[in-house]
A and B are shown apart, each in its own frame.
Chain A
Amino acid sequence: MEELIKSYKGKIPGSILKALKKETLSRKLTKKEVEKVLLRLKQIYERAKINAGESIGVITAESFGEPSTQMTLNVFHFAGVAEMSVSLGLPRLIEIFDARKEIKTPLMNVYIKSPWNKDPAKVKKIAAAIKEIKLKDVSSSFVINIPKLQIEAGLNKKRMRNLNLSEDDICKAIAEGFPKLNVKLGTEKLVLKPKSEENQLIELYKLKEKAKVAYVSGVKGVKQVLPVKSGNEFMILAAGSNLKEVFKIKEVDETKTVTNDIHEIKKVLGIEAARQAIINESSKVMNDQGLDIDIRHIMFISDVITSSGFIKGITRSGITGEKESVLARASFETPIKHIVNASLIGEEDNLNSVIENVILNQPVPLGTGLPDLVIKMKEVEK
């Protein structure tokens, strides 16, 4: 029996063979039955394979393109009471496939490790710790003291208590962020004085504006947090994305926490994770719109984007710009640029793909255009 199954190695995927082995034992199949199953499995597997010359690229593009014509433009989904807008629909899909560096609504789903995720008070505390606090969030006033040439920021005790911050904490954080400043604590205020004496008033004003948004505590980039219950645990929705810093917090579950910023995932978790993130994000968009696309199309697209080890969007600066054929590139965007550059280095177009052959009115090397009758002329002549 074992040998019989082994003989099919390479013809049927190993995982399926393994599953079959398990089933034969539990169902007590005879050798004849197993052979029948194996034959049938092989048939099904062969049929599921894509034939040579199938134009999977166009089929994938159409599979996305057709349903996306039905998508409503600019849908925003609001999560909960707090204003947490998430861009969805076509704009988000374009964002993913173009591999934009700056996405419109960065968002993290922060999960908490086991003992703490059942306690809403603790989760709330973590959420508060994640949110980025700027100096203006804890101060009541910003005043430029002209005779003394210094900035005085009044501190709001109540807010500080709410955020669990002491005066020293703030003092320290500001001093770290502004090495050129002398940071001192006054009575209920923070005094910022430039170290160098020859400061102008205008520069002081600019400094004041900078100090307003100075980082005090929390995770940089997280503008808003929202603790929510998902299933039987509590988690945090965070507007703004900074995986690296969030992972430093010990209560955060690094195995589950995700962001919707593909580039950040690539930076922190690597290219394979980015591939999966593209799959997850784009299928989420399609599902939210009630559209059904086969997962393999989505997988194919994210493979194309990530296969080089870098994230390359489907733009003229990404994959499309790397097409081999000059004519294919020229027919996509900025034709003159491509033709002129190609002529400068004497590029050659071997007419291997679709669009160039359409331009020349030649059969496209796909489907019925792929097979050729091959005659070895020299042998015929002999």
Chain B
Amino acid sequence: MVDIFLDERFIGNVDDTENFVSKFKEMRRTNKLPSELNIYYDKKLNEIHIESSKGRVRRPVIIIENGKSKVTTEIINKCRKGELSWKDLITNGIIEYLDAAEEENALVALNEEYVTNEHTHLEISPSILLGLTTSLVPYANFVQSSRLNRGSKTQKQSLGLYATNYLLRMDTDVSVLHSPQIPIVQSFMHEISRYKNHPSGQNIVIALMSYGGYNMQDSIVVNKGSVQRGLARSTYFRPYVAEELRYSGGLVDEIGIPDKEVKGYKSEKDYKLLDADGIVGPEVKVEPDNVIIGKTSPPRFLGELEEFSIAASTRRESSVAVKQGEEGKVDMVVLTENEEGNKLVQARVRDLRIPEVGDKFASRHGQKGVIGAIVPEADIPFTASGIQPDIIFSPHSVPSRMTISHLIEVIAGKVGALSGRYIDGTTFGSENVEELRKELKELGFRENGCETMYNGITGEIYKADIYIGNMFYLKLKHMVANKLHARASGRIQLLTRQPIEGRSKGGGLRLGEMEKDCFVAHGASLLLKERFDSDKTVVHVCESCGSLAVSDDYRNKKFCIRCGANVEITAIELSYAFKLLLDELKSLGVYPKLNLVSKY
């Protein structure tokens, strides 16, 4: 006796479990029951679960009966001719959908060759176990799965043609690659996803060799000639937005060049790019702190207006300026209205990004790297036929990561480039590498993909043969221009008097706890003190009561609030954070005394 549950609700029981389940499946396949139903027999709990609810993840598989796939050549031909549709395959009981529970009762064969009598289902294609982006990795059945993961992750970060109407859009923080290419080595997913309509990388010549230590540890060496010819150039877009907000009391923001009387007026040269309407015009070159959209806001508190103002204008400056560390040309200016009917101004700034040291690149196999050097074309090694690589990739990146597919793509790409065709690198269904090698030989190259190369600087032959070929490379969205940051002095926090945090605000770089330990371990005690001088202050201490004293610089008087002026008051240097700590202790009701001792 087995209990049956429909959508986790008890509906009855049955004696002959197997017969019931198989009959249920039979009826589903012959359309007597809806195909959305799934049935699962739980052996441990001795329960049958029938599911019809929404939100289950289901996947299609081919039904196997008596060790034979239901998809025959006849059916394939019919599908080809268009006589059978996907729906027909389901209604005819050739393909069915399994949910996670029913999968537990099924034995799915990966490939038709592996089918035995025990199997209940057959995978439509073994590559179905990969998702969309992962299917874009060529020869994925030749890599470690974790690398595959990383490979598909990096593809999502690659620059390309992210949308064909990008010129009409106001997306934040996007880039467009200048001349994206269709990869030579493709998979079936490139076709399905119409990759050639929105490609996101370029086919380059890659050599696997070291180059003077500039491609150690995941860095790459780039040919300067290639860069000058336009390799991996991209344009970076950032929109700046200003809105004429309405405040209570009929006050509104005003877009225009701010008056000099306005509170928080920057300087005249910051506003120089603005047109008469207070908005910068297209194709104007802008630099950090340049105002793009001039705007003033009404005073924050109405009371301010009556009490302190002399003139009529106490409006606040609230212009939109170019962010720190960014520059470019104004690409497009849009004047519209938003949903609330407020005037909305958007200006998009475009910046040409030529590859530079520190920009991040990746192949499709989870092999990412940062440019370590851009070497003049004259110094780049060349092959006997005069080919020079665009990128020199370190061979040490391969053995520990076991990215064989990366190496295969080099050969496949080489064959594709030489024979002028696309290579199919679909996972589990790719073109045979042996065949490709043969083809490479017929094309007049060495079978193993290696070539004799010459040192670009001295002209000597390298003793080792260099593995060189073509592959598809991606420029990733992480560019140094967006990340580089350093500061000497700048804004500080009001409370702690320590530097503020964050690149966009021009903040400081923290010397943290562990870095502090390094200084201590080296015994660099005075250097450490200097590092922490950012919030150094001078405080005056009353030597009789040990509390902080007052130093009145106007009257040139020093006194202690408790003990008066007739005590010894000494100035000492402290971190402001410690002064804060003393204040906080006092607020706790703890009386901290500073007992000064002369060092000498």
Contact = CB atoms under 8 A, between A and B. Distances in A.
Interface of A: 53-55, 58-59, 61-62, 339-340, 343, 348, 354, 358-370, 372-375, 377
A56 to B, nearest CB: 9
B520 interface: yes
B575 A360 contact: yes
Contacts of B520: 55, 58, 354, 364, 366-367
A367 B532 contact: no
Interface in B507-539: 516-518, 520-529, 532-533, 535-536
B517 A61 contact: yes
Contacts of B529: 361-364, 369
B553 to A, nearest CB: 22
A53 B595 CA distance: 25
A38 to B, nearest CB: 31
B600 A374 contact: yes
Given A58-B520, A343-B590, A361-B573, A377 B600 contact: yes
B545 to A, nearest CB: 14
A339 B585 contact: yes
A343 B586 CA distance: 11
Given A339-B590, A340-B590, A375-B600, A368 B575 contact: no
Contact of B528 (A59, A358, A372, A373): A358
B525 A363 contact: yes
B335 interface: no
B537 to A, nearest CB: 9
Contacts of A363: 525-526, 528-529
B532 to A, nearest CB: 5
B590 A359 contact: no
A207 B533 CA distance: 70
Nearest to B523: A367
B577 interface: yes
Given A55-B521, A361-B529, A361-B578, 8 more contacts: A62-B518, A348-B595, A354-B520, A362-B529, A363-B528, A364-B528, A367-B523, A377-B600
A369 B530 CA distance: 12
A367 B517 contact: no
Q: Closest 6 CB pairs between A and B?
A: A367-B523, A369-B525, A361-B575, A343-B590, A364-B525, A58-B521
Contacts of A54: 523
Contacts of A59: 521
Nearest to B575: A361
Contacts of B599: 372
Interface centre among A358, A361, A368 (most CB of B within 10 A): A361
A59 B575 CA distance: 26
B528 to A, nearest CB: 6
Contacts of A62: 517-518, 521
A367 B599 CA distance: 18
Contact of B516 (A343, A358, A368, A370): A358
A55 B532 CA distance: 19
A375 B585 CA distance: 36
Nearest to A326: B592
Contacts of B581: 359
18 contacts: A53-B523, A55-B523, A58-B520, A59-B521, A62-B518, A340-B588, A343-B590, A361-B573, A361-B574, A362-B529, A363-B529, A364-B525, A367-B520, A368-B524, A372-B599, A372-B600, A374-B600, A375-B600
Nearest to B592: A343
B86 interface: no
Nearest to A54: B523
A337 B540 CA distance: 29
A58 B517 contact: yes
Contacts of B428: none
A367 B590 contact: no
Nearest to A380: B600
Contacts of A53: 523
Nearest to B594: A360
Contacts of A367: 520, 522-525
A368 B585 contact: no
A368 B528 CA distance: 10
A361 B532 contact: yes
Contacts of B532: 358, 361
B591 to A, nearest CB: 7
A367 B525 CA distance: 6
B323 to A, nearest CB: 33
Given A348-B595, A375-B600, A361 B523 contact: no
Interface in B197-249: none
Given A361-B575, A374-B600, A368 B595 contact: no
Nearest to A61: B517
Interface string B380-402: 00000000000000000000000
A369 B526 contact: yes
A224 to B, nearest CB: 31
Nearest to A376: B600
Contact of B527 (A340, A358, A368, A374): A368
B516 A361 contact: no
A105 B527 CA distance: 46
Contact of B523 (A348, A366, A372): A366
A302 B533 CA distance: 36
B60 to A, nearest CB: 40
Contact of A360 (B516, B525, B574): B574
B599 to A, nearest CB: 6
Nearest to B532: A361
A341 to B, nearest CB: 11
Contacts of B591: 343
Contacts of B600: 372-375, 377
Nearest to A340: B590
Interface string B533-556: 101100000000000000000000
Interface in B346-392: none
A363 B517 CA distance: 14
Contact of B525 (A339, A366, A375): A366
A233 B555 CA distance: 90
A54 B595 CA distance: 28
A84 B230 CA distance: 64
